[in-house]
């Protein structure tokens, strides 16, 4: 069984994945230097009519509004011409093609390597749906940024931050916090990994992003897709007007699409990004440290956990209430033992429905005219940096903790990497790397503790960011 | 835009940014440290009462050699597996129906069908 797990993450597959990523970046950069489809960006965001680029399109739009008066051969020919102008082929730009390729890569990664397929398949299909070219501003109401379209209605849940709390409800109803309750000291690893959020925030500021945008970008380092979407919908939604400093009077950019795509892409690539950092920062002897098995946790303790956690964390960071409140509410449903039906719905049907809608709409929000910008590429670079820093901070903090612990009670530093809250992928990576160092060393249960505390930590960090930056 | 020529504006790294970062890191640590301390204390409080009552009712038993606090992963896995099978009714069930075949089953086959033989079977 272990061999199968190890085979799954073979270096060849990792290399193939990295090549695909490089190709994506190259395509993106090629597009940005070409920059042929960003002219209608602002109009597309607002869902208003778009200024046509050439005379033919002016004629096409005019034809839509003017009813046909007579039917003869020339009119029929014009009708065919008009139909052709409405096809995707006539409206296709290089940006659309690039994004469709990106969508196909997502689907490929999900099917071939099983990297977060539940997320990458909906997002990949969403990217393709969102980048089917059509005549914008012709009143078709099909684009995600066109008011009144079906996709626009579904996207409302993203822009208003409705879906992330519902996802958190499902996560809470699914998560067993036993490992965390049995080893509370491992919670600190979840806190250490959040340092990546704030270092990325500083980096984004220095790259020229406005503070609210930088705050939303920083959360990518929390490796938590719903939190990243929630933060970007609050801080980088293309609507808020800033009041302070050099940015006073300016409107924040709409970065929901790039941030969500970056967060979910890197979450899916946790098995590729984390192992080199973990190996670089640990010795083989450290990777072989065996930890004591966690103690049994009573049912009463499990019931106390979400109640205390809810009250305590929400008092510290009330801005994170939608996320933390729903997370702990879901866990109470699970642990109370008397609401099994509700817990089952939250952890199965509800989270599945929301995941489908969230994935497709986030994918569709990457419409080339809005998505392919220099800022998107910078967000992807910052996202990678954020993940690497978060992983490194978790591992290094575990090593620091070991300096103060007794010899028979040491922590395997590999589980520090699980402090980024990509549940349960980063814990699984810690388990795999532990098995590589010592085939009898199972770290999964230990790694789950910092993993779930990372979820709480990133939500608290998001709350702090919101309280500082929401009225910037 | 030339992506490789990224310019870092160090003036953006001002007091406000520094405050958000440091306060943020400290609050995240404090929140989780506080939770961790509470969860370290709660089991002790809960067990305090249990130990107190057991001490009163039961005489002290001599300590056994079995170390209950430390069990190997294999033992844990075996116990977990057994409990999982038990609670989810996944263990094997016998049908509890006994049947005795009274008739001998004779299967017809070209290999054993005497009507299809060309030769008489020697008796």
Our count of domains for chain A comes to 1
**CB-CB: which of B6, B20, B40 is closest to A184?**
B40
Task: Give, to the nearest 10 degrees, the angle between helix A321-336 and helix A444-469.
Answer: 150
| Matching residue, tokens 């695909």 | A20
Judge whether A204 and A213 are in contact, CB under 8 Å: yes
To the nearest whole Å, the CA of B98 is away from the closest chain A CA by 39
Q: Is B21 on the interface with A (CB under 8 A)?
A: yes
pLDDT at B5: 59
CA–CA dist A345, A173 (Å, integer): 9
Q: What contacts A270, CB < 8 A, 6 or more positions away? A: A223, A387, A420, A422, A425, A426, A429
B47 touches A: beta carbon within 8 Å: no
Q: For B21-68, how does the pLDDT look when each residue is reduced to its tens digit (9 = 90+)?
A: 899 999 999 988 988 888 888 877 777 666 666 666 665 555 555 555
* A311: closest chain B residue by CA: B35
Q: Give the residues across from A251 on adjacent strands.
A: A241
Is there a domain that residue A445 lies in? yes
Residue A438 pLDDT > 80, yes or no? yes
* ipTM here: 0.75
Q: DSSP for A317-328, please give it.
A: -GGGHHHHHHHH
Hey, are the CB atoms on B6 and A201 less than 8 Å from each other?
no
Q: Which of A41-55, A389-403, B97-111 has the highest mean pLDDT?
A: A389-403
Does any domain span residue A282? yes
Q: What mean pLDDT comes out for the span A10-39?
A: 54
A471 in B contact zone (CB under 8 Å): no
Identify which has the larger pLDDT, A72 or A463: A463
Distances (CA, A) of B103 to B75, B95, B114: 49, 22, 21
Domain presence at residue A180: yes
- What kind and span of H or E run contains A256? helix A256-268
Average the pLDDT over A426-439 and give the result. 89
Q: How far is CA A365 from CA A210, A262, A271, in A?
A: 21, 13, 26
Residue of B nearest to A298 (CA): B43
Nearest residue of B to residue A377 by CA position? B3
* CB-based contact, A309 to chain B, within 8 Å: yes
Domain boundaries, position A280: 165-469
The pLDDT tens digits of the residues spanning A350-366 come to 999 999 999 999 889 88
Q: Give the chain B residue whose CA is nearest to the CA of A292.
A: B70
From the list A198, A205, A309, the residue facing B24 with the nearest CB is A198
* Interface with A, mutate which of B12, B19, B80 (most A CBs under 10 A): B12
pLDDT above 80: residue B10: no
**Within-domain flag for A353:** yes
Q: What is the pLDDT of residue A383?
A: 87
Residues of A in contact with B3 (CB under 8 A): 29, 32, 374, 377-378
Disruptive mutation site among B8, B39, B76 for chain A (greatest number of A CBs within 10 Å):
B39
A221 and B CB contact within 8 Å: no
Predicted pLDDT at A57: 41
**How many CB pairs below 8 A link A and B?**
127
Residue range A182-207: mean pLDDT, rounded: 89
The verdict on A156 touching B (C-beta cutoff 8 Å) is: no
Residue B101 clears pLDDT 70, i.e. is over it: no
- Chain A CB contacts of B48 under 8 Å are none
When the pLDDT of each residue in chain B is averaged and rounded to a whole number, the result is 72
Minimal CA separation from B47 to chain A, in Å: 11
More reliable by pLDDT, B123 or B95 = B95
Q: Cβ of B3 and A29 within 8 Å?
A: yes
Q: Examine residue A198 and state whether it is found in any structural domain, yes or no.
A: yes
Is A456–B32 a contact, with Cβ atoms under 8 angstroms apart? Answer: yes
- Residue B102 has which token pair? 């009274």
Q: Which residue on chain A is closest to B34 by alpha carbon?
A: A312
pLDDT band, very low/low/confident/very high, at A269 (cuts 50, 70, 90): confident
Mean predicted confidence (pLDDT) in A232-240: 86
Residue A60, in any domain of the structure = no
Task: Tell me if chain B has a CB within 8 Å of the CB of A190.
Answer: yes
Read off the pLDDT band of A42 (50, 70, 90).
very low
User: Is A355 within the bounds of a domain?
Assistant: yes
Kindly report the backbone phi and psi dihedral angles of residue A116, in degrees, each rounded to the nearest multiple of 5, phi listed first: 45, 60
pLDDT(A95) > 50 = yes
Per-chain mean pLDDT for chain A: 81
Q: Say yes or no for a CB contact (<8 Å) between B25 and A195.
A: yes
Identify whether the C-beta of residue A424 lies closer than 8 Å to the C-beta of residue A448. yes
Percent of chain B exceeding pLDDT 90 equals 5
Task: Write down the pLDDT at residue A395.
Answer: 93
Is the pLDDT at A163 greater than 80? The verdict is yes
B72 touches chain A (CB under 8 A): yes
- Inter-chain touch A456–B39, beta carbons under 8 Å: no
pLDDT of residue A400: 92
pTM over 0.80: no
Report pLDDT for A25: 54
Q: Which pLDDT value is given to residue A122?
A: 93
Contacts of A287 (CB under 8 A, 6+ apart): A278, A412, A413, A414, A433, A434, A436, A437, A438
In this prediction, residues A106-133 reach a mean pLDDT of 89
Q: What pLDDT sits at residue B104?
A: 58
Q: Which residues of A touch B8 (CB under 8 A)?
A: 206-207
Q: Which of A48-62, A179-193, A283-297, A345-359 has the highest mean pLDDT?
A: A345-359
Q: Are A125 and A103 in contact (CB under 8 A)?
A: yes
| CB contact (8 A) between residue B20 and residue A468 | yes
Q: What is the pLDDT of residues A291-339, one digit of tens each?
A: 887 777 888 888 888 998 899 888 888 888 888 899 999 999 999 989 9
Six-digit token string for A373: 């910008």
Minimal Cα–Cα distance from A76 to chain B, Å? 46
Predicted local distance difference test score (pLDDT) of residue A348: 92
Task: Assess whether pLDDT exceeds 80 at residue A67.
Answer: no
Q: Is A43 inside any structural domain?
A: no
pLDDT tens across A387-417, in order?
Answer: 899 999 999 999 999 898 888 888 899 999 9
pLDDT of residue B115: 65
Q: How many percent of chain A have pLDDT more than 70? A: 84
């Amino acid at each position: 069984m272990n061999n199968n797990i190890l085979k799954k993450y073979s270096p060849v597959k990792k290399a193939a994945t990295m090549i695909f990523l490089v190709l994506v970046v190259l395509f993106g950069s090629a597009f940005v230097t070409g920059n042929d489809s960003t002219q209608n960006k602002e109009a597309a965001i607002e869902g208003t009519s778009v200024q046509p680029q050439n005379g033919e399109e002016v004629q096409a739009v005019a034809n839509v509004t003017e009813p046909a008066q007579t039917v003869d051969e020339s009119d029929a020919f014009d009708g065919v011409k008009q139909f052709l102008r409405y096809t995707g082929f006539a409206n296709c730009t290089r940006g659309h093609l690039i994004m469709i390729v990106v969508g196909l890569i997502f689907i490929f990664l999900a099917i071939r390597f099983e990297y977060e397929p539940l997320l990458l398949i909906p997002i990949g299909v969403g990217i393709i749906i969102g980048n089917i070219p059509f005549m914008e501003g012709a009143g078709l109401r099909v684009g995600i940024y066109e008011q009144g379209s079906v996709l626009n209605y579904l996207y409302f849940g993203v822009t208003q931050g409705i879906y992330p709390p519902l996802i958190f409800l499902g996560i809470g109803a699914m998560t067993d916090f036993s490992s965390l309750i049995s080893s509370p000291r491992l919670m600190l690893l979840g806190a250490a990994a959040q340092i990546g959020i704030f270092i990325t925030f500083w980096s984004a500021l220095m790259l020229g992003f406005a503070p609210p945008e930088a705050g939303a970008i920083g959360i990518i380092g929390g490796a938590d897709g719903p939190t990243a979407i929630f933060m970007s919908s609050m801080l980088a939604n293309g609507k808020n007007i800033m009041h302070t400093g050099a940015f006073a009077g300016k409107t924040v950019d709409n970065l929901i699409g790039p941030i969500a795509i970056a967060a979910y892409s890197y979450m899916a690539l946790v098995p590729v990004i984390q192992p080199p950092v973990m190996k670089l920062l640990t010795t083989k002897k450290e990777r072989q440290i065996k930890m004591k098995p966690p103690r049994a946790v009573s049912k009463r303790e499990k019931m106390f956990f979400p109640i205390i956690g809810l009250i305590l964390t929400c008092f510290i960071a009330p801005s994170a209430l939608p996320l933390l409140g729903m997370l702990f509410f879901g866990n109470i449903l699970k642990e109370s033992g008397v609401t099994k039906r509700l817990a089952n719905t939250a952890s199965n049907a509800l989270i599945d429905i929301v995941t489908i809608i969230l994935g497709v709409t986030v994918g569709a929000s990457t419409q080339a005219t809005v998505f392919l910008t220099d800022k998107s590429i910078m967000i992807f670079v910052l996202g990678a940096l954020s993940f690497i820093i978060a992983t490194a901070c978790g591992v290094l903090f575990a090593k620091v903790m070991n300096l103060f612990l007794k010899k028979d009670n040491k922590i395997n530093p590999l589980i520090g990497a699980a402090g980024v809250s990509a549940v349960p992928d980063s814990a699984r990576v810690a388990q795999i790397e532990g098995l590589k160092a010592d085939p009898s060393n199972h770290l999964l249960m230990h790694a789950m503790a910092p993993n779930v505390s990372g979820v709480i930590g990133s939500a608290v960090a998001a709350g702090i960011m919101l309280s500082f930056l929401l009225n910037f | 835009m030339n992506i490789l020529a990224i310019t870092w504006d160090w003036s953006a790294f001002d007091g406000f940014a520094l405050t958000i970062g440091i306060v943020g890191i400290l609050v995240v640590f404090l929140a989780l440290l506080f939770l961790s301390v509470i969860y370290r204390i709660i089991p002790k409080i809960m067990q305090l009462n249990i130990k107190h009552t057991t001490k009163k009712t039961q005489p002290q038993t001599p300590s056994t050699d079995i170390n209950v606090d430390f069990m190997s992963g294999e033992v844990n896995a075996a116990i977990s597996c057994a409990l999982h099978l038990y609670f989810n009714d996944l263990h094997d069930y016998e049908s509890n129906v006994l049947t005795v075949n009274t008739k001998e089953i004779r299967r017809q086959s070209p290999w054993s069908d005497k009507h299809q033989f060309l030769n008489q079977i020697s008796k």
